Structure 1
Amino acid sequence: MSKLVWSRRELLATSAVAGSMALTAASGVARAKGETHGGAEPLGSGLDPADDLVWLDGTVPAGHEGQAWGQPWPRGTRYEKKGYHLEGTGGGREAVQTWPLAWWPDGSIKWTGHAVPADGARLSGLTVRPGGVGATATLSLSETGDAITVTVGQTVWTIGRSGEALIRSARVGGAEVLQQVRLVASAQDRPDDEDGAPVLSRWTSVITGAEVEQKGPIRAVVKLAGKHSGAAGDWLPFSLRLYFHAGSSCVRVVHSMIFEGDPAKRYIRGLGLEGAVPMRDALHDRHVRFAGENGGLWGEAVRPLTGLRRDPGAAFRAAQVAGEPVPPLDQMAATVRDTLQYIPAWGDFRLRQPNSDGFSIIKRTAPGFGWIDVDTAGRSPGLGYVGGVSGGVAFGMHDFWQRCPVGLDIAGAASDMARFTVWYHAPDAPAMDMRFYHDVLGMEDYVHQNLGLDITYEDYEPGWGDPSGIARTSEFRLWALPATPSRERLATMGEGLATPPRLVPNVARVKSAGMFALWDPVAAGGAKRTQIETRAKRELDFYVSQVDERRWYGFWNYGDVMHSYDNDRHVWRYDIGGFAWDNSELSSDMWLWYGFLRTGRADVFRLAEAMTRHTGEVDVYHSGRFKGLGTRHGVQHWADSSKQPRISNAAYRRFYYYLTSDERCGDLMRGCLEGDYTLQHVDIGRKVMHREDGSKPPAGTGAVVNEAPLPDGQIFLQFGTSWGSLIAAWLAEWERTGNTRWRDRIVNGMRSIAAFPKGWLVGGANFDLKTGTFLGAGDTVSMSHLNGVFGVFEITAELLDLLDEPAYREVWLDYCELYNAPEAEFRARTGASGKGRALTQAHSRYTAYAAVERGKPELARRAWAEFFGSGDREGRDQTRGGHRVDGAAVLKPIDEITEVSTNDAAQWGIAATANLALIGDSLE
């Protein structure tokens, strides 16, 4: 474990700075206990630090369908095997379901997962206390050879272990309201713009495995694995979890599918989740609903009784509009009752959201008859309902309009069996075209590919811009209902689907437990702190707003942001090589998560959540030749030929996993554990020495070359961009499982780096895959500005509090102290040139860390000088905010920040976070 050489008092006594200099004495133990480095109380979040958990949006919701979250615990806390409960202001107590998420090295509990039933935890002043209490609402789960049954109150769900149906049925009070929920997909063999009629193929889900992950009593989780099967063969493997909460009529479905195959032969047409709903009621007592904008709802009956030439009576009209049983027909006027059969019954309904700005509803009586336009509006929450007074199903999708083109279908509502489909890619939208976006352009060899990198910043290589193996996770909800809910209830369900209420651990508790390395909540201070916090807020605000202003939406795109801005065109460089989609470059995910931790802002959380979902799925390979690696930034998320662990980095997923206990995110981290083995056939540095002039290529790839082939079982790894990303996955697996194999793999790497004469300054070395040990002489300095900006600083700060490796600590601190050192000092202490160093402002946090850990006040002064220097983005005025651009210069009025760059925003934000936590009290 790291410890300070000097105390705070000694530092102050020896400081040569005129006046008092308050350099934070932040030892590993102090950080683990959550001591505040800035000396000020947290501001900005409005949270009571005494609360263990809070509602993300700041208010207790009127209701919810069940909650799960992760709760942090300081080192040394004993795990209470008898359970936990919630307490609220006034002494209210509620039961929770509990499971361990992570452990400290001493065996004490680090994170627990908890769940409450539907409408639970609607208290103020929530704290988690040891000791179980009896749950008032429970569920039960039972297993048979071919099925799993979950019973929640009067609702019984039957889940398949095999076959097409994910959910075979749902019964409410003995009446079946739902059948045969399955996945469907279609694809064509050619793009829409090619001559000739495309051949359409169809697939349906087939379950290949089922596992019960939690059995209750409050929350049950069932994981299914499978594939899509059809006449054209198996395709689109998937994993899917079904979440049930006591007291809820809803099942939450988290579905992840992998795109595999040749994008020039498979053009996805439709992707959907469908189910069947028995229709037992009279046509006039059957109802269809779609949630609308701003709490609105569109709703009609299959056979309408309103607007007729003859009036059935106010009671009939009111009941039908409300979704209630109409009075007995013998009370209806005979002029209507005897002619009901002449009123058309509407069987089919469609809602389509082709883009993020508008949706439309159409309907028809039956196949073979024309569609009738109904209405249009802006953004649909993605909720529908079909059923009647004796039962029905509500269905929907989270992030609906953001994932456009999407849709909702209801078919056969006038028959004995209706079907609904949630289209997470609408089949009547243009087919997905995932082919690479340009031809070879003369870049057949590495020499010419490097020339292309020079001009467009795209690392191109024929055949490497391949989407086969990427994934996408979508979230659905299904409600099994005993009758048509009120219009107000359905509208509320739609709002909850679009913006789910969420319990999260209080960021003050996350801090006090010592989680996620070096950060502090926003705090008051003098002019310089105010300057930092002003920019920090401005840039978070800007990126939150840019998602909507620039319409960064769509099936594959939503959750990512762009990399760099084009000041001349007033657009982000969406079409220029490596300047387009960001793909986690320079830790944008981490920047947003620290932004949330510092502020508690719900909008920042949701942007970070969407980014985590996107970058962990779309930008990473989950099968195939690149499995475990991610793709560098580019015009398409999979386009760049640089496939590296720095993008699949588990350091970016740990925040979301622990704050929410999200199982899918846990899968993603586990999928990165053996990314180093993939590098046996993916040589990151394969192009480095293939330039016309023999020089190295410009910054961007972060690659180092090996001159000779390596023996079997060895690869070359850079310490920061590759090993630093892999150790994040190994750390997560060690703390989640207690399996010391992964700890030992980290330690072997640390000790071998420490044994090198030049330590961390070597930059990278040959790596033995079996042992996790670096090999070679380690006597040559090789610096790269990219080696320290993909989370290795933050992960190392955590590891040095968890592992007692003093030799490694010293070579790491050498690197921290020397990276930004003046050239003369660097050369004097290393015997080598400091060539390759850049991103001075971003690396100021390294200087600050060395200042604190080595007790050198002069390094703290240097760190702030580096941070407040010219900045890492050439030509950018760091004090300047955004401005409005309108008129003929742009398609629509927009906001921009001149010379804005996500690299700059992310690294500046992370550096500001660490510096304030480390040396904040020396700032003024």
Structure 2
Amino acid sequence: MKSSRRGFLQTTAAVSLAGTLPQLSQAATANLSSKPGTPVTDTALNWLDGKPARFEGGTFGVPWPRGQVRKPAAGQPLQFRLAGSNLPVQSWPLAWWPDGSLKWTAHAVAGGTPANVLKLEPGTSPAGNVSVKQTDAQIVVSAGDLTWTVPTRGEHLIAEASRAGRATLKNLRLVALRQDGADPELDGRVARQAFTSKITAATVEQRGPVRAVIKLDGMHTGHGRDWLPFSVRLYFHAGSDAVRLVHSFIWDGDAAKDFIAGLGVTAQVPMSDATHDRHIRLSGEGVGVWGEAVRPVTGLRRDPGQAYKDAQVAGRALPPLAGMDKRVTDGLKWVPEWNDFSLSQANADGFTIRKRTAPGHAWIDSNAGTRTKGLVYAGGASGGVALGFKDFWQRAPVRLDVRGAANTTAELTAWLWSPSAPAMDMRSYRSAGEMDTFEEQVEGLNITYEDYEAGWDDATGIARTSELMLWALPATPSHQAFSDMAEQVANPARLMPSPQRIHACGVFGDWDPVDPTASPARQLIEARIADQLDQYLKEVEQHRWYGFWHYGDVMHAYDADRHMWRYDIGGYAWDNSELSTDLWLWYGFLRSGRADVFKLAEAMTRHTGEVDVYHQGRFKGFGTRHGVQHWSDSSKQPRISNAAYRRIYYFLTADERVGDLMRELLESDRDLDKVDISRKLGARAPAPPADGLVSMAFGTSWGSIAAAWLAEWERTGDTRWRDKIVNGMESIGALKRGWLAGGAPYDPCTGKFHGPGDKVSISNLNGVFGVVEISSELLTLVDAPAYRRAWLEYCRYYNAPRDEWMALLGSVPGGRGMGDTNSRMTSYAAFQLRDRALALRAWREFFASGALKPAPFKTTARAVGGVDTIRSLQEQASISTNFAAQWGLAAMQHLALVGDSLDEAAKAAGLVP
């Protein structure tokens, strides 16, 4: 067995980087002090989806080996530049190693024309042009010749965007429509009320010179009521006419009375051009653009002349009308002015475009399509506004509206929930009076696998985050420019270090990059890993896992008899992070750098961190176990709200909203006495420990909350959170049976476990919610020898044969399921103990699932279709999300930890010649 991978990385990471990347000059590194003998090197960055045609600016994170990059001297900024580019860069610390060196840095890049490959290196960046001025009443952001005015109170998120004194945009605000009942069926009677945003707090988080960030908090208000709390971050970048909005809201209504009939972002657009010089743009299918004028001059009975038609189609002002055919000039007043436009995406498979001349008149159908990227523009030759949002068709029902385009002021609205759709229904899917007694609830759990108790299937406190882009433009964009803008809405350009560069820094535990030159045995496993990732990407599309509340989640279990996932069978429906699906996708991305895997992992992070977790109310800080509705299961647990599932995305992107979500969880352990997280998995819950202690399992609870403490310690350097982690680790190590005890009474004030811990209690669930990954990282960051011994004992013995258990305990404990996927704990022990025989045992345990067949690997998917299915499918009849996630994580960790014994083990198993 090779020596400690961690120690190897710590002593050689800088050498390996220096060998693959150009060494910087002393002048280039003057503002950073590096560890003696360790050169500071630059970092190659790749575009996740290839170089974009248009770049509005962006932010990314970069890791550094321990001890390599020191904090700048007091008063000195952290400075990096992009070699080979004149794009300005703004940099700041994102995380720290325990020795005080930088672990992660964040970098905001200005918009502009990028190169194919960029290199980040220490040094002075070109200056950005973003600045912020703040008073009690407003915050003014200047970016080039654009000025954005953000009120600190009131209704509007942005009061005005102006260029050279001309207002291009006014009065950006949030809107919500409440309906007092479900959508009408026969009686046709429902009433709607409109609510608007009310800002209660405005915080400037960054002030430029490349990126400025303003966070606005508030409520939706109207009709004597404040509800639907929200936070909106506004991101301004140098070199861009756009502002990015990250919009989050919390559902806090009464599900029986409050039905959201519309949820949107709206802005006013001054319209000063002649109506024939006013233009509407809507994104179409693919790169397509729907573009028309408010008053068209094309298609008329009389021809105005090609120059006039070309100008209008292109979005330019018409040449002087004096040169137009007089019959057209005289007749223009009779050509209808189209006032209102609407693109409605009712579902993931279809959108329609309509327009009308005025309210009270008929809508005219224009065109239709399947999927659009979700961008609209309204304005004229002298300027206008474009507004759109990410994951448009994936989040349907959605809508884009222009109202009043023929008036002096138009209104542009991006509906995150379309008013054209049935109202949002947050009620329970269950009938009243079901399972009234504990015994009935246990019976229900035993047949549908969903834990139910009246009142616990409550959506109050869940949230949803959406990402929007808003442009204040000096003129109508060309069709090509608008198409490029729509692509940036749907697929924002992202810069990313390579998997090899990330891995060289020793972050995120036990993984290694995909090796295309690997041995046949490794290729067999890599092919299976890729096949499972590919299959879930297919499943999202095949089974239409789309929708406002759903997109980003996957289902738990499959029903091969009806060729459907068990969407309607209790706990077999939505997965809700069960068995670390999020981590599986993120490690799949870290190893491969695949853009499609990143996008699914990103969507899952946005979903599971918001929808599956409570952000206020009695369940705050806990997530909901898998069920038919994302909130329907009565088991509310920290294993679902787990910060480990958000942490990788946070450090790769420096996303502030996900940072908020992790920070929300820091005190979750203090609420464990308020919620019985075990529910009905056994008999009635035991009496809680006395003296302010709570019962806590090491893997499903402590490991999940410890991930939040780790993230906070890394981000802030605040040793309070390190101490809480260490207290937990040391007290687990001090128990008689250590990790074999499974859990113990816990003191939320100190973070310590109590009691003798003399009884063995093992559960197959204790190691499958991120504690394997978190323990691996923690043991490289803190000195906790007692915990290390306890954890290695647990890892070594979990799958141990009977004789070893008898020698240790005199008996063989139960509860040790999922031996094949939990074999990753065996490989961890083998690696740490440098025990090759144990490594070979780990491979035998892993191969026992039968998921691998002799090389070459062939997919198990088969084509099904015809009258048996709703559409043709590529089906894996035995697919299981639990198994896919845990098998994938185990495979990746085996390769990283005991990969040097794979060929021997695979030959012994008959998997390769």
Work out whether the TM-score is over 0.5: yes
Matched, 1:201 2:193: yes
Distance 2:459 2:811 in 1: 42
Once residues 367 and 553 of structure 1 are traced to their aligned partners in structure 2, the CA distance between those partners, rounded to angstroms, is 32
Question: Cα distance, 1:833 vs. partner?
Answer: 3.1
**In the alignment, residue 162 of structure 2 is paired with which amino acid?**
R
State yes or no: 1:26 paired with 2:4.
yes
1:550, 1:53 → 2: CA distance?
Answer: 38
- Kindly state the Cα deviation for residue 862 of structure 1 after the two structures are TM-superposed: 0.7
d(CA) in 2 for partners of 1:593 and 1:503?
16
Residues 1:537 and 2:530 aligned together: yes
What displacement does 1:92 show? 5.0
Q: Distance in 1 between matches of 2:791 and 2:857?
A: 30
Aligned CA distance change for structure 1 residues 684 and 827 (closer, same or farther; 3 Å): farther
- Is 2:104 the counterpart of 1:111? yes
The structural deviation recorded for 1:686 is 4.3
Q: Output aligned runs, 1:273-672, within 5 Å.
A: 273-439=265-431, 442-523=434-515, 524-672=517-665
Task: Identify the range of structure 1 (817-826 vs 648-657) with the bigger mean alpha-carbon deviation.
Answer: 817-826
Per-residue Cα deviation, 1:457-484 (whole angstroms, up to 9, x for no partner): 1111111111100000001111001111
Q: Does the C-alpha gap of structure 1 residues 841 and 643 become closer, same or farther in structure 2, counting only changes over 3 Å?
A: same
Amino acid of the residue matched to residue 892 of structure 2?
Answer: T
Tell me the secondary structure at the aligned position of residue 640 of structure 2. Answer: coil
Query: Cα distance 1:557–1:279, how it changes in 2: closer, same or farther (>3 A)?
Result: same
Distance in 2, Cα, partners of 1:206 & 1:33: 54
CA–CA distance in 1 between the matches of 2:12 and 2:437?
53
With over 3 angstroms needed to count, the CA separation of the structure-2 counterparts of 1:820 and 1:479, relative to structure 1, is same
Q: Which of these residues, 36, 49, 60, is aligned with residue 51 of structure 2?
A: 60
Alpha-carbon distance in 2 for matches of 1:831, 1:878: 42
Q: How far apart are the structure 2 equivalents of 1:584 and 1:180?
A: 39
Counterpart CA distance in 2 for 1:832 and 1:641 is 35
Question: Deviation at 1:647?
Answer: 0.5
Q: CA deviation at 1:853?
A: 1.1
Contact 1:78 1:108 in 2 (8 A): yes
Superposed CA offset, 1:718-749 (max 9, x none): 00000010000000001100111111111111
**Does residue 717 of structure 1 match 2:678?**
no
Q: Distance in 2 between matches of 1:784 and 1:882?
A: 32
Instruction: Give, in whole Å, the separation in 2 of the partners of 1:398 and 1:253.
Output: 10
Deviations 1:36-80 (A, max 9, x none): 9xxxx99xxxxxxx9724334353223200011001011002134
Q: Which secondary structure does the structure 2 equivalent of 1:454 belong to? A: helix
Structure 1 contact 74–513 (Cα < 8 Å) conserved: yes
In 2, Cα distance between the equivalents of 1:272 and 1:644?
31
In structure 1, how many angstroms separate the alpha carbons of the residues matched to 2:432 and 2:702? 32
Partner Cα separation in structure 2 for residue 666 and residue 422 of structure 1: 26
- Is the 1:96–1:115 Cα contact (8 Å) retained in structure 2? yes
Aligned partners of 1:741, 1:749: CA distance in 2, in Å? Answer: 13
Match of 2:253 in 1: 261
1:183 is aligned to 174
Bigger shift: residues 677-686 or 351-360: 677-686
Over the matched positions of the two proteins, sequence identity in percent amounts to 56
1:883 pairs with 2:875: no
Change (3 A) 1:303 1:627: same
Aligned pair in 2 of structure 1 residues 259, 493: CA closer, same or farther (>3 Å)? same
Matching of residue 164 in structure 1 with residue 155 in structure 2? yes
1:639 offset after TM fit, Å? 0.6
Q: Mark the CA change 1:417 to 1:712 in structure 2 (over 3 Å): closer, same or farther.
A: farther
Equivalence for 2:142: 151
Per the alignment, in what secondary structure is the counterpart of residue 234 of structure 1? strand
Aligned twin of 1:797: 776
Q: Which of 64, 70, 80 is matched with 1:85 structurally?
A: 80
Indicate the residue corresponding to 1:765 in structure 2. Answer: 744
Bigger RCO (CA 8 Å, 6+ sep):
1
Assess if the C-alpha contact under 8 Å between 1:55 and 1:501 holds in 2. Answer: no
Shift of 1:690: 3.0
Deviation at 1:683, TM superposition (A): 1.2
Per the alignment, do residues 219 and 442 of structure 1 end up closer, same or farther by CA in structure 2, a change over 3 Å counting? closer
The one of 709, 717, 732 aligned to 1:730: 709
1:795–1:552 distance in 2 versus 1, CA, 3 Å: same
Residue-by-residue CA offset, 1:237-263 (whole Å, 9 max, x unaligned): 001100000010000000000001221
Matched, 1:868 2:847: yes
SS of the aligned residue for 1:646 comes to: helix
Q: For the Cα contact (< 8 Å) 1:585–1:647, is it kept in 2? A: yes
The equivalent position to 1:192 in structure 2, one of 169, 183, 186, is: 183
1:207 Cα offset (Å): 0.2
Cα distance between partner residues in 1 of 2:682 and 2:65: 49
After superposition, what is the alpha-carbon deviation per residue over 1:426-455, rounded to whole angstroms, capped at 9, x for unaligned? 011001111111125642232221221111
Partner of 1:14: none
How far did residue 677 of structure 1 move? Answer: 1.8
Q: Deviations over 1:496-518 (max 9, x none)?
A: 21112111122211100111000
Unaligned ranges ≥5, structure 2: 21-40, 904-913
Q: 8 Å contact 1:139–1:245 — kept in the other structure?
A: yes
Equivalent residue of 2:480, what SS?
helix
Q: Are the equivalent residues in 2 in contact too, given 1:840–1:871 (CA < 8 A)?
A: no
C-alpha contact 1:53 1:503 (8 A) present in aligned 2: no
Q: Are 2:909 and 1:923 equivalent residues in the alignment?
A: no
SS in 1 for 2:225: coil
Aligned to 1:13: none
Q: CA deviation at 1:779?
A: 0.1
Deviation of 1:31 after TM superposition, in Å, equals 4.5
Report the 3-state secondary structure (helix = DSSP H, G, I; strand = E; otherwise coil) of the residue aligned with 1:617: coil
Q: Does the 8 Å CA contact 2:85/2:114 hold for their aligned counterparts?
A: no
Task: Check whether the contact 1:871–1:878 (CA below 8 A) recurs between aligned residues.
Answer: no
**How far did residue 25 of structure 1 move?**
2.6
Query: What is the SS of the residue equivalent to 1:476?
Result: strand
Indicate the RMSD between aligned Cα atoms, in angstroms: 2.0
Quote the residue 1:819 is aligned against: 798
The Cα shift of 1:196 comes to 5.6
Name which of structure 1's ranges 92-101 and 720-729 shifts more when overlaid on structure 2. 92-101
Which residue does 1:239 correspond to in 2?
Answer: 231
Residue 777, structure 1, aligned to residue 756, structure 2: yes
Q: Distance in 2 between matches of 1:686 and 1:540?
A: 33
Distance 1:800 1:760, change over 3 A: same
CA offsets per residue over residues 362-411 of structure 1, 9 Å max, x none? Answer: 00000111110100011111011000011110111111011000000000
Q: Equivalents in 2 of 1:818, 1:767: separation in Å? A: 25
**Partner of 2:787 in structure 1?**
808
Deviation digits for residues 555-614 of structure 1, max 9, x if unmatched?
Answer: 000011111111111111111111111111100110001001111100001110000000
Q: Provide the rounded CA distance (Å) in 2 between the counterparts of 1:121 and 1:339.
A: 48
Matched, 1:741 2:725: no
Contact 2:48/2:496, CA 8 A, preserved across alignment: no
The one-letter code matched in structure 2 to 1:797 is: S
**SS of structure 2 residue aligned to 1:888:** helix
Structure-1 residue corresponding to 2:131: 140
Aligned-partner Cα distance in 1 for 2:99–2:114: 31
Supply the distance in 2 between the matched residues of 1:778 and 1:845 (Cα, whole angstroms): 25
> What is the alpha-carbon distance in structure 2 between the residues aligned to residue 82 and residue 153 of structure 1?
23
CA-to-aligned-CA distance 1:860-887 (integer Å, 9 cap, x gap): 11100001013599xxx99752111011
